[in-house]
Structure 1
Amino acid sequence: MSDACFALLPRDGLSAKDGRGWYTSEVGRGYSLPWPLPTTVRGALRAAWGHDVMAATGITLSPASWEHRSEQVGLQRFIALRRALGESFTRAHRMWPVPADAVRVLDERGAECLVRLEPHPGGSRTLGPDEDDAREALWHPRRSASGKPLTSPLFWPESRMMAWLSGAPVSPMPEQEGLSQRTDIHLAIDVETQASQDSMLHSREVVEMLRAQRQAGGFAVEEWALGLSCVWPDPASGLPRGPVGLGGRRRLSSVERLDVALFAMPDALAQRTRGLRLVLATPAEFQRGWLPDGFERVAGAPPRYVGRLPCVDAPVVLRAALVPRALEVSGWDMVLRRPRPTRRWVPAGAVYFFEKHGGGDFTAEELRALWLASWGSGHAEALGQVLPGVWQPPHHGQGA
């Protein structure tokens, strides 16, 4: 059993099909997710591990044996990377999901600005499906500036995300920093008529991983990659042998070794803070939907959710939760040849706010321990990995 750190670089784009079928409003259209899910990547790694085992031992794995033995392949870290073509990957190339408490707005002067959603006690009640007074007592976010909300990009670069987590001012992101998509058209030719078969005509969305950016004096090419740290069991080698098939059509991704330090936490982020902001770096799977596992209602005035976080000994109070629309995730069982049960995830970028139960600060050591710690279920799939940040809660009355 060994740990492997490497990047997957899909040179010809990446197609990770979403849950919609081919026969939707546009017949023969395949829709791609904007970024692959951790489960998709782990499945590709399990397939690559099985090929490595067969190449190293000379045996042929049956589907059931492959399924059982590859369970040991665990995805420990899963981050996006972006660099200029020809550079070596460093921590400066990391890209993170945009946090849900960041809002791009267009102010009255037509200028774009970035504002924080800060939770405060009180506010309007939610429209939950049941009567839960602890949920209704959660703090509500308020914007510090008015304006028309704008669409946010999918990722932020390392410098912007670390500044946001540390509480520093952050400037809006230029639109050109996002990913782009293309549409591939596929058809089949009838061997008798030498014409296309209408029933086999379809299109598929593909996420571009290489992109040319206009700069002074010409163009610069940037490339996106998936940075992975995983458990790679024996008797396979320490890295996948050759390219890895990933996503729809098993598009080939080259493998590049990474240093484990690329996944480390910046020293400047480890600081003492009265409140804690946790941003999901990967989707999370909680048993009760948006509510983290282990948090229970505690009676009081008002009632509250109290529980524990990974790597933090003291109990904490959940003050607010900014959670976008849930992800409905399914897959295909390659052994039984049938769909897997649907799973409901909290999307990456969701933000939770905490204070310690009974008072006290979160220490720098606790923030270091929380860095990319797994929260909830699916630890072998790198689900629920969190980014800790500082938060200064507003002063509130005793017992609030």
Structure 2
Amino acid sequence: MSEIRHWRFDPLDTWFFREARGFETSGHNELSSLFPPPARTVAGAMRTLIGEHSGVDWPRFLEGEEYAELRALIGAGDSLGRLELTGPYPLWQGERLYPVPLHLLGKDRNYRFLEPGDPVLCDLGPVRLPRIKNARQDPLPGAKPLEQAWLNGADLQRVLGGQPPNGVIATQRLYVEEPRLGIARDNMRRTGRDGLLYQTRHLRPHPELAIGAETRGLPAERYPESGVMRFGGEGRPSLVRLSEALSDRLPAPLIQGPNLLLMLLTHADFGSGEECWRPPGFEPIERDGTRVWQGDLRGIGLTLECAVIGKAAREGGWDLARECPRPVRSLVPAGSVYFCTLADGIDVDMAIKALHGQHIGQDIALGRGELAVGTW
């Protein structure tokens, strides 16, 4: 019987989760670290620890018949087998943090919300673009989306219910950045290699910061014990601890309106092309001279009225199975929000139960496309 486990990665050194650019394409610019780490990086660390717990001889793993059962459980290459991931996400003082929804604007601890505006003619046709709610009565010049900030569960619940948070946690509180300079080595000659200098920017986490994730799909005996392993770029050590699933799961939404607000808690993969910004299955229609998008998510009929989407998240990495770079993909970033109305006959409670905490799009086994539901 499969069980759910919570994983916690505590740093014993710096972290480095390389951005999508390669060293050979970076020129004189340094490579930064992503945060939180890409889902494949975390999934790879988990599979490595599970395999070592089972005594895997890795050169034989892909072909050996003795590992057929384990391959079915944790997969090989791009496949995760039966393993399913939720996250990854920051843990701060033992509590999960959530990205700030992008329809919340802030300046000097004052906040404003975006809402669907009147139809405007643009490259998508006549569509409803976001506008600041009550901007004329209560302006806040200079307010902007809080892309480098986080919320705890209680404040996420407030924001998704249309209420301002009690406070946000800036990324600068979680870690400091450390620039590094290195040179490629010639291990045979024990010298540096000419012209192969590189610069990276590591993350030095504060003591109360960790990376969390949850997995399901494995029997209890396959899960490893806690231990130390190499994690992320340059193989920096981290302490890995496993426990029962967190009791304080995704907070229940506050119902403050008749319409649905969908927020991405993790990056989502909606495919490629010009319409990769919208969830799969949504098609444009004309309604009263305005373009909207109709679709169905897990049996809930929705009309997409307006969206607030951040800059594309770029993820690549190294494919260990094929020993080559992994193709870089553009993902819809966490924090993006979709303003939706419900089809006739569907009430808000029904929609929330069907969608809150679910995953949409491609690669959901990697934790992509995790949803939180609010109202407007």
Query: When the two structures are superposed, what TM-score results if normalisation uses the length of structure 1?
Result: 0.77
Residue in 2 that maps onto 1:142: 132
Which ranges in structure 1 are unaligned for 5 or more consecutive residues? Answer: 106-110, 211-221, 392-400
Q: Indicate yes or no: 2:44 matched with 1:43.
A: yes
Q: Secondary structure at the match of 2:180?
A: strand
Of 93, 96, 112 in structure 2, the residue corresponding to residue 94 of structure 1 is 96
* Closer, same or farther: CA 115–271 of 1 in aligned 2, 3 Å: closer
Matched, 1:157 2:152: yes
For residues 326 and 183 of structure 2, the distance between their equivalents in structure 1, rounded to whole angstroms, comes to 29
Tell me the amino acid that sits aligned with residue 106 of structure 2.
Answer: R
- The residue correspondences of 1:101-140 to structure 2 (distance < 5 A) are 101-105=103-107, 112-122=109-119, 124-128=120-124, 133=125, 136-140=126-130
CA distance in 1, matches of 2:161, 2:321: 46
Matches within 5 A, 1:357-376: 357-358=343-344, 361-363=347-349, 365-376=350-361
Q: Deviations over 1:62-81 (max 9, x none)?
A: 34568954322524311434
The question of 1:316 aligning with 2:302 is answered yes
- Structure 2 unaligned blocks of 5 or more: 76-80
1:148–1:139 Cα change, 3 Å: closer
Contact 1:49–1:236 at 8 Å: present in 2 too?
no
Partner secondary structure for residue 358 of structure 2: coil
**Superposition deviation, residue 272 in structure 1:** 6.8
2:60 maps to what in 1?
Answer: 61
- 1:276-291 correspondence runs (5 A): 276-287=260-271, 288-291=275-278
Q: 1:173 aligns with which of 157, 168, 189?
A: 168
Aligned length: 355
Tell me if structure 2 keeps the 8 A contact 1:54–1:60: no
1:108 is matched with none
Q: How many angstroms does 1:60 deviate by?
A: 6.2
Instruction: Quickly say closer, same or farther: Cα 1:26–1:344, change in 2 above 3 A.
Output: closer
1:249-264 equivalence runs, <5 A: 249-262=234-247, 264=249
Q: Aligned residue for 1:223?
A: 208
SS of the counterpart of 2:15?
Answer: coil
Q: In structure 2, what is the equivalent of residue 15 of structure 1?
A: 16
Tell me the alpha carbon deviations over residues 223-261 of structure 1, each in whole angstroms, 9 at most, x when there is no partner: 211221113535963235522332101222212234424
Partner of 1:307: 295
SS at match of 2:214: strand
Matched position secondary structure for 1:48:
helix
RMSD (Å), alpha carbons: 3.2
Counterparts of 1:250 and 1:184, CA distance in 2: 15
- Is this contact kept in 1: 2:227–2:241, CA < 8 A? no
Q: Taking structure 1 as reference, are residues 114 and 5 closer, same or farther at Cα in structure 2, changes over 3 Å only?
A: same
CA contact (8 A) 1:113 1:172 kept: no
Structure (1 or 2) with the greater strand fraction = 2
**Secondary structure of the structure 1 residue equivalent to 2:365:** coil
Partner of 2:202: 206
2:85 aligns to what? 76
How far did 1:32 drift? 1.2
> 21-30 or 292-301: which moved more?
21-30
Contact 2:284 2:294 in 1 (8 A): yes
Shift of residue 208 of structure 1?
2.1
* CA shift in 2, pair 1:156/1:178, >3 Å: farther
**Paired letter, 1:345:** L
Secondary structure at the aligned position of 1:148 is classed as coil
| Contact 2:153/2:251 (<8 A) preserved | no
Normalising by structure 2, what TM-score? 0.82
On the 8 A contact 1:73/1:230 being kept in 2, the answer is no
CA distance in 1, matches of 2:29, 2:256: 54
Matching residue's letter, 1:243: V
Deviations along 1:165-221, whole A, 9 cap, x unmatched?
122232553655354211233357899x999766454332112222xxxxxxxxxxx
**1:99-134 CA deviation, whole Å, 9 max, x = no partner?**
1111123xxxxx552111121232x33335xxxx4x
For 2:9, what is the secondary structure of its paired residue? strand
Of 165, 171, 185, which aligns to 2:181? 185
Q: Distance in 1 between matches of 2:169 and 2:214?
A: 30
Per-residue CA deviations over 1:355-387 (Å, capped at 9, x if unaligned) read 112375311x53244222001111110000011
Q: Percent same amino acid among aligned pairs?
A: 22
SS at match of 2:14: coil
Instruction: State the 1:344 CA deviation.
Output: 2.3
